[in-house]
Amino acid sequence: MTLEILSYGFMQRAIISGIAIAILCSVVGLFLVLRRYSLFGDAIAHSSFGGIALGLMVGIYPLWTAYAVSLGSALVITRIRNRFKISGDASVAILLSAGIAIGLVLISVSGGFTIDIFSFLFGSILLVSTNDTILILGLTGVILVIILLLYRQLVYSTFNEEQAKVSGIPVEKLNYLIIFLAGITVVTSIQLVGILLISALFVVPNVTAIMYGRGFKQTALLSIGFAVFSVVAGILASYVFDITPSGTIVLVSIAIFAITLSMKSLNIIK
């Protein structure tokens, strides 16, 4: 049965794209979680809703406008937060609310919700084209290379920002870089789980991995493993049982978290 499923081109593209997105969300998400920006991915995703609505309204491929709006919004709100000392949760709430409000206004102006809007809200990984797959793989490769090149500085500034500043590391620029990479990752991942569930891929595998109490590299590898398993198992289960892939992927991820939580409470995991 599994081999038959994997023989379909759309399923192959879905799994390849899904694995790439899972790795990307795990790696970028770990830096967000450790920096206490867990909900920033969710805020960027909701701001992309306005970009998608704009693209559909003016006839531009929605993901391109989503990239522009999401990245612009994230960088602007980060700048405002740093300059005026606005708390992290407040800046996230502002970005999230603005994105949803702008999207709803643009949708009402253009005549209401469409099938395209719903596919972006809830994901459509089984409809990913060959060009989409190539784009996802390309962006994943570029972002991972950037993180590897700046690995030591990113880790240092994540765990000890003040000491990193004293050591001459450009912490503020690295913070902007992480937000920029998170914005690209969020919009790239929308096709997998949609706007409404994207934060789950950033947060749940990483929180699960952190509970094992390992070092940074081991935690990153555990998170990647959990995310990849969730995506592949979720896609296959959704096809077999004819249910939505996005919700299934997130439920598998939460199930892994629940199992880990139980093992932790029983002292199986120290």
Q: Residue 18's Cα: distance from chain center in Å? A: 12
**Pick the residue with more confidence: 41 or 143?**
143
Work out whether the CA dihedral 20, 22, 28, 31 comes out positive or negative.
Answer: negative
* Exposure of 51 in the CB half-sphere (CA atoms within 13 A): 27
Q: Where are the domains of the chain?
A: 2-265
Distance CA(107)–CA(126), nearest Å, equals 25
- What dihedral do alpha carbons 58, 116, 131, 69 form, nearest 10°? 50
Sorting pLDDT into bands at 50, 70 and 90, what band is 29?
very high
Question: How far from each other are the two terminal CA atoms of the chain, in whole angstroms?
Answer: 39
Predicted local confidence at residue 28, as pLDDT: 93
State the pTM of this model: 0.88
Pinpoint the alpha helices (H) of the chain. Answer: 2-6, 9-34, 40-58, 62-84, 88-110, 115-122, 130-149, 151-159, 161-166, 171-193, 198-210, 216-241, 245-265
- Check residue 36 and give left, alpha or beta (phi > 0: left; psi -120 to 50: alpha): left
DSSP 193: H
Q: Note whether 30 and 203 are within 8 A (CB).
A: no
Q: pLDDT by residue (tens digit) across 99-139?
A: 778 877 877 777 665 556 777 777 777 778 888 889 889 99
* Residue appearing with tokens 């081991």: 218
In the predicted structure, residue 216 carries a pLDDT above the cut 80:
yes
- Structural fold of domain 2-265: ABC transporter involved in vitamin B12 uptake, BtuC (1.10.3470)
**Sequence-distant (≥ 6) Cβ neighbours of residue 165 within 8 angstroms:** 171
DSSP 197: G
